[in-house]
A and B are shown apart, each in its own frame.
Chain A
Amino acid sequence: MSKSPNLFIPAIGSSALVLWTAFALMDRDQVAGGVDTLETQIGQVSATTTAATLVAGGTPAEPAPQIDKRYGLGRAAHPEEIAAWDVDILPDGRGLPEGSGDVWTGEEVYVDYCASCHGDFAEGVDNWPVLAGGFDTLGNKDPVKTVGSYWPYLSTVWDYVHRSMPFGAAGTLTVDETYAIVAYLLYSNDMVDDDFVLSRETFTDVQMHNADGFVVDDRAEAEYAEWRAEPCMENCKDTVEITMRSVFLVETPPEGGSNSVMNPAKVEGLPSFTAEGPSFIPVAAPKAAEAPAPETAEVAAASDGDALLEHGEKVFRKCSACHAVGDGARNKVGPHLNGIMGRTMGSVEGFKYSDGFADANAEGKVWTTEEMVAFLAKPKSYMKGTKMVFAGLKKDEDLEAITAYLASFSE
């Protein structure tokens, strides 16, 4: 570890350590010497406490739990279990599995799984992360931090794509698909040529653009040294002016959430301050009309009690990263789903469907319960080329519930 963390260990912490040790020793003595009388134990405890108190030079500490004892809890982990969960990749490439992927395969896989959020050219859709470009922007106030411009280790890219992507279907990419996507991302960032094949062997050939762009936390030297000083209490400044007012006013409606509204107010006309107080007292604005008393929100309790719909709502969480349903639902990464049951496939206005759904639309195919169940069970095999990144629902009861849930929302 090249970093020496600036840990603050208070005196009480070290006294507790002394206590832990003392108690651990005491326990072993007791085991060795058989059962002690209560008096002896009390004697030992008080002796230990006194010793610790002397060391701490203050308040007697409470006994701490034994930290260096084996409790014999848990069970040995099976190698298969470790293999299933221990998939992280270290910066030097340790942990990378056997496999490979080239740039062009990567592009195909990327378009299938990643482009709906990150854009066809890794430029990012809406607020989703941009993955390519941004070189020479790190010195700007809004740096564009991409795999190319910012990420210091290739291991991180592989590890993250493999474990946590695609969003909503993490852990479903194969090893080769992962190698291919990462190869494509490197290509998108001009870091490899189009004939590049990424594998465990070629991994170390790649030079990350910003590999040397990081320093280990140096606040202790750069900041703390200066800012650990007795602060000024009086006449610390001559005058204070208000230089900026809040850009957004934030409304907090009773139903929750917030609405940000641009603040039209200007700094002009506000008082400045000196040690004597404000330069002037702005004349009181006309008193705003009394705000209406908050209504006693008697929220009508959901009374349908329909367990199927409730379960469907839960299942829908798996979809909600990309789809909206209900009042005011709009297209997100996927189309909104209001009124989907009984509707012609691929018919939501303003949504750009895959060729498969465009064809289904032309054929006049309709979302019946059977079609929906078949689609959601195995999206990619039901509709070749669908942009929907979702592995599918395995359980029949989930399929039944989601279909019922979707049917409960009309157009």
Chain B
Amino acid sequence: MDDTFKPSRRAFLRGSAAVAAGSVAGAAAATGPDPLITELQDWTSYTGVGVDETPYGMPISFESHVVRRNVEWLTASPISSINFTPIHALEGTITPQGCAFERHHSGAIELAKPDYRLMINGLVDQPLVFTYDDLERFPRENHVYFCECAANTGMEWAGAQLNGVQFTHGMIHNMEYTGVPLRILLNEAGADMSADKWVYVEGADASSNGRSIPMEKALDDVLVAFKANGEALRMEHGYPVRLVVPGWEGNMWVKWLRRIEVTDMAVESREETSKYTDVLEDGTARKWTWEMDAKSVITSPSPQMPIKHGAGPLVISGLAWSGHGKIARVDVSKDGGITWETARLGKQGDTKALTRFYLDMEWDGAPMLLQSRAMDDTGYVQPTKEQLREKRGENSVYHNNCIQTWYVNSQGIAENVEVS
């Protein structure tokens, strides 16, 4: 440690100004008139592109790095795999469909609306078949919900693994869905809606991913959705129809939904036994762990979003969510959990939807250990990694909602770390 010094607070503040000076960029540091202002620029003189240049608009080329990305070595084949939402580069709460994470078990399929059929059978008075057009004739609702894969942050059980919030927390998206309450369709078929019944849902793709949902949930807030963020679902998210199971793990949000069966027991399909069950330290496993517990993460600064502007005003921005209801409060720590201050919510949280939080601060250039801690309106407080491991061990890959730590050094570079 010879190349370091132990500063008093005051001495440090003076020192940090020097650190900052080197990295202050652009207009603020300009010593003379800025040619971007004083000289006539091409874009101010020549005309731009006409309408219809891109009948369906894509983000401008300067934003081409804001894309979903996969980590190839995590899975055997990209057809049964996952990629990650670039949450580090997004703001607000709505995830654009084009960069919302994908998880397929047998690839994304092209299923046209005229070829689409939805069957309801099992314990119903009348088994029914609906076309896509039929679904658009039932009363519909609009709701914003997050969809989080149960394996989001799963790598991190084993300690800090992947250096980027996109990769540690990017198996999540948040969209406004338009769809028919499942309850309406169950009622249409005269389903047995007693509380001990189950609804088994499956998709039309080759994996035929099927999950069992208890009747109480099916009647509560589940939607049979056909639009997201105002437009048709994307192929990779289940076009033309997917299930929306608010607050519950993403695997249950069956895509290309083709069948709804009312049963008298859980089917115990592959996806709810061999997968999406949580092995505990003693080797027993929890099953039916449907709800996604409250969780939050700072998206900027983060490893992919270093502080580039040096000392001075800094916006800490992050996301919080809970499968149990609304986000009531988010606290942020800059010292690895010794001291906490309550962050500002971008807007009051919607139930089972992403909530944006901010902490507006003056950064003095000192290293930080940034953490965020969400609380939902059931009073649940997001646990530390240590608390989670104490309860569950490290044998599972699912439902890791631990408090995340970023180490931010004096240059503003952030890294995924684990702390005592």
Contact = CB atoms under 8 A, between A and B. Distances in A.
Q: Tell me if chain B binds chain A.
A: yes
Interface of A: 1, 3, 5-10, 13, 64-71, 73-77, 81-82, 85-86, 88-92, 117, 126-128, 138-143, 145, 147, 150-153, 155-156, 159-160, 163-164, 167-168, 170-171, 213-219, 222-224, 227-229, 231-250, 252, 254, 256-258, 260, 263, 265, 267, 269-271, 273-285, 287, 294, 296-298, 317, 320-321, 332
Interface stretch (B29-37, B47-55, B263-271): B263-271
B284 interface: yes
Contacts of A265: 415
Contact of A282 (B65, B129, B216, B409): B409
A218 B392 CA distance: 11
A250 B263 CA distance: 45
Interface stretch (B38-46, B131-139, B226-234): B131-139
Given A81-B129, A234-B340, A285-B411, A213 B283 contact: yes
A364 to B, nearest CB: 33
B119 interface: yes
Given A229-B379, A283-B4, A298-B61, 12 more contacts: A5-B214, A64-B141, A86-B121, A91-B267, A145-B279, A164-B105, A231-B340, A231-B375, A233-B331, A245-B407, A280-B1, A321-B77
16 contacts: A1-B198, A81-B119, A82-B127, A159-B269, A164-B270, A215-B284, A216-B288, A231-B331, A236-B339, A240-B338, A242-B419, A248-B162, A252-B65, A260-B71, A278-B366, A294-B62
A86 B259 contact: yes
B375 to A, nearest CB: 7
B225 to A, nearest CB: 14
B391 A223 contact: yes
Contacts of A287: 22
A214 B285 contact: yes
How many B residues touch the partner, as a band?
A: 35 or more
A86 B214 CA distance: 19
Contact of A3 (B62, B129, B214): B214
Contacts of B130: 73-74
B140 interface: yes
B339 A233 contact: yes
B5 interface: yes
A320 B79 contact: yes
Contact of B417 (A143, A223, A244): A244
A257 B4 CA distance: 38
Contacts of B378: 8, 224, 228
A260 B73 contact: yes
Contact of A150 (B119, B196, B274, B391): B274
Interface string B378-394: 11110100010001011
Given A163-B208, A229-B379, A320-B79, A247 B159 contact: yes
B413 to A, nearest CB: 9
A159 B154 CA distance: 27
B121 to A, nearest CB: 5
Nearest to A95: B267
Given A140-B395, A297-B64, A242 B417 contact: yes
A171 B205 CA distance: 11
A68 B380 CA distance: 34
Contacts of A332: 77
A280 B4 contact: yes
A114 to B, nearest CB: 14
B410 interface: yes
Contacts of A234: 338-340
Main DSSP-derived SS at the A contact region: loop
Given A273-B338, A281-B12, A256 B67 contact: yes
A229 B277 contact: no
A332 B267 CA distance: 34
B248 to A, nearest CB: 9
Contacts of A68: 187
B304 interface: yes
B241 to A, nearest CB: 14
A82 B287 CA distance: 29
A240 B335 contact: yes
Contacts of B192: none
Which 3 A-B residue pairings sit nearest by Cβ, starting from the closest? Answer: A65-B139, A138-B283, A240-B336
A170 B366 contact: no
A69 B166 CA distance: 44
A38 B249 CA distance: 46
A145 B263 CA distance: 28
B112 to A, nearest CB: 14
Contacts of A285: 411
B381 A229 contact: yes
A228 B166 CA distance: 29
A30 B220 CA distance: 28
B137 A126 contact: no
Contacts of B15: 281
B121 A1 contact: no
A254 B270 contact: no
Contact of A77 (B128, B134, B373, B410): B128
Contact of A260 (B162, B258, B420): B162
A237 B215 CA distance: 45
A10 B106 contact: no
Contacts of A269: 1
B148 interface: no
Contacts of A254: 64-65
Contacts of B289: 217, 219
A246 B325 contact: no
Nearest to A139: B283
B163 A248 contact: yes
Given A5-B214, A277-B366, A139 B4 contact: no
A170 B210 CA distance: 14
Contact of B159 (A7, A65, A164, A244): A244
A317 B217 contact: no
A216 B212 CA distance: 14
B360 to A, nearest CB: 18
B9 interface: yes
A335 to B, nearest CB: 16
B129 A74 contact: yes
Nearest to B131: A74
B383 A227 contact: yes
Contacts of B183: 67
Name the residue among A70, A248, A298 with the largest chain B CB count within 10 angstroms.
A248
Contact of B339 (A76, A159, A275): A275
B420 A250 contact: no
B416 A280 contact: no
A22 B108 CA distance: 43
A241 B5 contact: no
A85 B258 CA distance: 9
B395 A138 contact: yes
